[in-house]
Amino acid sequence: MLCELKPRERAGIINPVFTCQPAGAQFASIGIKDCIGIVHGGQGCVMFVRLIFSQHFKESFELASSSVHEEGAVFGAVRRVEEAVDVLLMRYPDVKVVPIISTCCTEVIGDDIDGVVSKLNRGLLQEKYAGREVHLVAIHTPSFVGSMVSGYDVATRDFIAHFAQKTEPNGKLNLFTGWVNPGDVKALKHLLAEMQIDATVLFEIESFDSPLMPHGNFVSHGGTTIADMQGTANALGTLALNRYECAKAARHLETEFGIPTIIGPTPIGIRNTDTFLQNLKKLTGKPIPESLVRERGVAIDAITDVTHMFLAEKKVAIYGNPDLVIGLAEACIDMEMKPVLLLLGDDNAFYGDDPRIKALQANIDFEMEIVTNADLWELEKRIKEGKIELDLILGHSKGRFTSIEYNIPMLRVGFPTYDRAGLYRHPVVGYAGALWLAEAMANTLFADMEYKKDREWILNMW
Ligand code: SF4
């Protein structure tokens, strides 16, 4: 078989692709309005995650910690959660949603966060905060399984399971975006608006590209409200763009409330965006307007300009969140490129069942490795040992040192991308994303041609 799906063989991780499960739950929680999550663990479980969010979005986010110390780690620390909830509610009178996010330490010692939520609901909330709307949601994200990707998936399901309420049909579409950037949300909303679809965009983070206003600084908050989450049970359909980020929430709505559901494909590239629009049409009955046909044409024209001369045959390594990596690989193949190495940073046992991976295995005509539970050393090792020759790397900023060390051009894409300005503003999804991706890859290669004096004269004549 030309395309092999295999786990990393070496024990131990050198330069991980992902961070841990609680990070995903924290990302989901900052997508909710009037929500501050309490991470039940050591302070570092919040501090380093907040740091990555802030580095990536260049914004500030509010997340709290129960700040477990030695005594709690030995004798149990649920008391810290009780104190943390009380302090948080006192300090922030507008907060309505408080997820209690567990970590490796508090899962190992067996702290009962579901029990403490029940206790607080019966006690503190009724006694001290009577009349105030407060929702405590227990989210289990031990870091010794999964990754930030599965943490996001689990948390979004738990929020939806907590809030979704069947009442009257609302005629809206549920759109789970998965772990995306503000630019992606904007591009998706544009496609929905062109099709005149009324949608609830869930765990909506467009406002993470926050303005600096005359009255002072602005703390970024997500746009998803409690009413949005309650209404998901009354929608005409659910579209989850990512198989590994939000499919659990979508499946919950399908199972519990019979909401018609389509999961994927991630709308990266022309082909997947076409399918996305067809899925929108299938769920809502709305036609695809001429304006989007034209937008598609503009993107294809731009892609054609750079594909044959510059992108074709280029060998690429891609790492990051699995839906992003697979979507990018599909888009690269459509642009005649050769994604020879895909690194998926966790050990999800279901990657082998992914129809997109099966399609890659059935159809590609060049050698490709897909490594699960991968770290960035899997990339560097292959380069160092001369096992692959790469023209381009696609991935987040954590792989920048490999690019620098081995002089391989790299386009930053995914999360986090902190060493380039404003990338969170550019979409990779939709026709706008397909166009940006093709041109950004081409421009990365152009800069490399000039820097290495490698046929850079072609650019004079192109
Ligand atoms: S691995 Fe454990 S201790 Fe480290 S940040 Fe994740 S949850 Fe916290």
In terms of pLDDT, which residue wins out, 284 or 219?
Answer: 284
Does 378 fall in a domain? yes
Query: Do 415 and 383 belong to one domain?
Result: yes
Query: Do 222 and 313 belong to one domain?
Result: no
Does 165 fall in a domain? no
Query: Do 43 and 109 belong to one domain?
Result: yes
- Based on the number of CB atoms within 10 Å of its own CB, is 455 exposed (0-12), middle (13-18) or buried (19 or more)? exposed
E strands present in 309-401: 315-320, 338-344, 368-372, 392-395
Does 164 fall in a domain? no
* Atom of ligand 1 lying closest to residue 141 CA: 7
Range 187-192 average pLDDT: 98
Does 166 fall in a domain? no
Range 420-447 average pLDDT: 98
pLDDT for the residue 219: 72
pLDDT band at 220 (very low <50, low <70, confident <90, very high): confident
pLDDT band at 218 (very low <50, low <70, confident <90, very high): low
SS3 357: helix
Q: Domain holding 273: CATH number?
A: 3.40.50.1980
Residue range(s) defining the domain that contains residue 274: 173-289
Which residue puts its alpha carbon closest to atom 2 of ligand 1? Answer: 104
Pocket of ligand 1 (CB under 6 A): 20, 22, 41-42, 44-45, 103-105, 143
- pLDDT > 90 fraction of the chain, expressed in percent and rounded: 95
Query: Do 28 and 102 belong to one domain?
Result: yes
What does the pLDDT look like over 125-141, one tens digit per residue? Answer: 999 999 999 999 999 99
Decide if 39 contacts 45 (C-beta within 8 A).
Answer: yes
Query: Do 302 and 451 belong to one domain?
Result: yes
* Atom of ligand 1 lying closest to residue 41 CA: 8
Query: Do 285 and 304 belong to one domain?
Result: no
Does 389 fall in a domain? yes
Query: Do 89 and 233 belong to one domain?
Result: no
Q: How many domains does the chain have?
A: 3
In the numeric block, the tokens 């929108």 are attached to 280
Query: Do 269 and 340 belong to one domain?
Result: no
Average pLDDT, rounded, for the chain: 96
Does 157 fall in a domain? no
Does 110 fall in a domain? yes
pLDDT band at 217 (very low <50, low <70, confident <90, very high): low
Instruction: For residue 265, say if its preceding peptide bond is cis, omega within 30 degrees of 0.
Output: yes
Query: Do 127 and 243 belong to one domain?
Result: no
pLDDT for the residue 169: 98
First to last CA, the chain: 38
Q: Is the dihedral of CA 43, 346, 423, 446 positive or negative?
A: positive
- Based on the number of CB atoms within 10 Å of its own CB, is 304 exposed (0-12), middle (13-18) or buried (19 or more)? exposed
What does the pLDDT look like over 295-320, one tens digit per residue? Answer: 999 999 999 999 999 999 999 999 99
| pLDDT(214) > 90 | no
Beta bridge partners of 16: 375
What does the pLDDT look like over 248-293, one tens digit per residue? Answer: 999 999 999 999 999 999 999 999 999 999 999 999 999 999 999 9
The best mutation among 13, 18, 20, 47 to test binding of ligand 1, ranked by most ligand atoms within 8 Å of the C-beta, falls on 20
